[in-house]
């Protein structure tokens, strides 16, 4: 099999672009900071204003790193789902993971007005929301895994995942109907997604979980390539279908679940990045694709975040809207130009 070596130049260029995007992302923001001050804060040198250094070290760098983790995590889980379900429309959230997280957060925020004031307001901090989102996606994941162990057909699993999603979305709607405007607004703000709320400690936890998920994906590389031939062929190649399917589902859930917990339900990236990547890396060999989507997803997310924070203005747009507004036309343009999508 053609190894990653053949794509060395493409990888080199991608890493270079990633570094450029990272620097651009850190240099731009609502407060204008000179480039010189940025570099000296990065190398821990003398900075003119102490507040600049604080902004860069405790706000912009964590936000940029979050963008990288979110972008690469979602992209890898999207790729895994597309291969597992042999469906180019699959994304990281097909198994209902994001709806599970939404349900958790919805219950935390809006449940207070429905079930009375059992939850105190202090619970609704960013950590509280992350915990609620994790719990919600974890519960849905458990349900999916139990079903997965009973269902032989992977396509049935896809439908079941979508059904779980529908149920949770419906419950969220009911909660929204009964809750007051303030709570509703708070929930909607969460659903816009946000990269900037993580402290260094939270970022550390997020990184560890992401590395775990990507590690599991790397362990599945060989099986993912077998799955390109379909399940029957994969089994005839000695692959333990149930076990590999479990590993792939768990890897996806860890990646997509942690992203949703820390940054909200971010749409589009997971679905689109694998397709965008295949425009450059014209192959379905996962040994090439997995590292490629990691880089690609990180770059795209950094670009989207740079645009979202609107340089030199006080406003920052919801990241969830930007990913789709920027990303969707790109995908449409690429597919129209190619006239044919090869999966």
Query: What is the 8-class DSSP label of residue 56?
Result: I
> From the list 5, 120, 232, 337, which residue makes contact with other proteins (rule: CB under 8 A)?
232
Q: Is 284 in the site for other proteins (CB under 8 A)?
A: yes
Q: How far apart (Å, rounded) are the C-alpha atoms in residues 256 and 258?
A: 6
Closest CA to 251 of 284, 215, 205, 296: 215
279 belongs to the binding site for other proteins (CB under 8 A) = no
The string over 310-342, giving b where at least 16 C-beta atoms fall within 10 Å of a residue's C-beta and e elsewhere, is eeeeeebeebbebbeeebeeebeeeeeeeeeee
Interaction pattern, residues 1-40, with other proteins; x per rule: CB under 8 A: xx--------------------------------------
Binders of other proteins among residues 49 to 108 (CB under 8 A) are 83, 86
Q: Cα torsion for 308, 54, 128, 246, to the nearest 10°?
A: 70
Q: How many CB atoms lie within 10 A of CB 50?
A: 8
SS3 (DSSP) at 334: helix
Give the one residue of 34, 45, 215, 230 binding other proteins; rule: CB under 8 A: 230
Count interface residues toward other proteins (CB under 8 A): 29
Least separation in angstroms between residue 244's CB and other proteins is: 11
188-to-158, 192, 261 alpha-carbon distances in Å: 27, 6, 15
In terms of CB distance, is 35 or 282 closer to other proteins? 282
Minimum CB distance to other proteins smaller for 159 or for 204: 159
* Candidate ranges 72-80, 233-241, 256-264, 311-319; the one touching other proteins (CB under 8 A): 233-241
State yes or no: residue 277 binds other proteins (CB under 8 A): no
Stretch that binds other proteins, among 48-56, 127-135, 177-185, 220-228 (CB under 8 A): 220-228
CB of 96 to other proteins, least distance (A): 23
**Nearest residue (CB) to other proteins, 337 versus 340:** 340
- Other CB atoms within a 10 A radius of the CB of residue 252 amount to 32
């Amino acid at each position: 099999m053609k190894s990653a070596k053949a794509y060395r130049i493409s990888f080199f260029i991608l890493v270079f672009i990633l570094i450029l995007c990272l620097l651009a992302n850190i240099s731009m923001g609502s407060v204008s900071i000179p480039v010189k001050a940025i570099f000296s804060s990065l190398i821990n040198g003398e900075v003119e204003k102490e507040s600049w250094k604080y902004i860069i070290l405790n706000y912009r760098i964590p936000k940029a790193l979050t963008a990288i983790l979110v972008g690469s995590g979602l992209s890898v889980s999207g790729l895994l789902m597309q291969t597992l379900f042999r469906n180019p429309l699959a994304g990281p959230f097909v198994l209902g993971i994001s709806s599970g997280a939404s349900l958790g957060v919805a219950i935390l925020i809006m449940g207070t007005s429905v079930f009375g004031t059992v939850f105190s307001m202090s619970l609704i901090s960013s950590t509280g929301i992350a915990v609620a989102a994790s719990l919600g996606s974890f519960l849905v994941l458990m349900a999916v895994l139990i079903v997965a162990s009973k269902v032989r057909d992977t396509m049935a699993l896809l439908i079941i995942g979508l059904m779980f999603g529908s149920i949770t979305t419906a419950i969220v709607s009911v909660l929204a109907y009964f809750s007051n405007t303030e709570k509703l607004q708070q929930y909607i703000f969460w659903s816009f997604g946000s990269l900037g709320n993580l402290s260094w400690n939270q970022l550390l936890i997020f990184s560890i979980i992401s590395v775990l998920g990507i590690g599991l994906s790397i362990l599945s590389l060989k099986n993912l390539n077998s799955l390109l031939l379909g399940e029957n062929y994969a089994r005839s190649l000695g692959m333990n279908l149930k076990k590999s399917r479990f590993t792939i589902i768990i890897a996806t859930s860890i990646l997509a679940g942690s992203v949703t917990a820390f940054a909200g339900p971010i749409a589009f990236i997971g679905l689109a990045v694998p397709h965008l990547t295949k425009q450059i890396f014209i192959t379905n060999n996962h040994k090439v694709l997995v590292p490629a989507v990691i880089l690609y997803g990180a770059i795209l997310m950094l670009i989207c975040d740079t645009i979202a924070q609107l340089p030199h203005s006080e406003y920052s747009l919801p990241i969830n809207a930007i990913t789709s507004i920027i990303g969707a036309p790109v995908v449409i343009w690429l597919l129209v130009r190619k006239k044919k999508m090869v999966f």
